[in-house]
Amino acid sequence: MPTNPREKTRGKRDDYYRDRRRRKVCTFCADKTVMIDYKEVNRLRRYLSERAKIEPRRKTGTCANHQRQLAVALKRARIVALLPYAPQHVRP
């Protein structure tokens, strides 16, 4: 039995609008960043998960062009050993 009297009157339309999220904005487009640099480790670290995987576009909100540049920069930073390939707790 619902404790809130409004709960029983809520329909599908209310559920639809409640579940919609605001569209994420690409931070690189908002900052007018010309190029994503692999040496900006603190900025790149935000786009890695705790398992050291590259976060997808739907989670970070970056546009397709910047996501491709971001992936290249992250991979370069890994090659130069600025960022990890594996998370800290998995390494031997």
What confidence score (pLDDT) does residue 12 get?
A: 64
User: For the chain, what are the domain ranges?
Assistant: 24-92
Give the end-to-end CA distance of the chain in Å, rounded to a whole number.
53
CATH superfamily of 24-92: Ribosomal protein S18 (4.10.640.10)
Q: Write down the pTM of the prediction.
A: 0.71
Backbone angles phi, psi at 7, to 5 degrees: -60, -40
**Burial (CB count <10 Å: 0-12, 13-18, 19+), residue 62:** buried
pLDDT per residue, tens digit, the chain (92 aa), is 556 665 666 666 666 666 666 778 899 999 887 789 999 999 999 999 989 999 999 999 999 999 999 999 999 999 999 999 998 776 66
Q: Please spell the DSSP secondary structure of 28-66, one letter per residue.
A: HHHTT-S---TT-HHHHHTTB-TTSPBPPHHHH---HHH
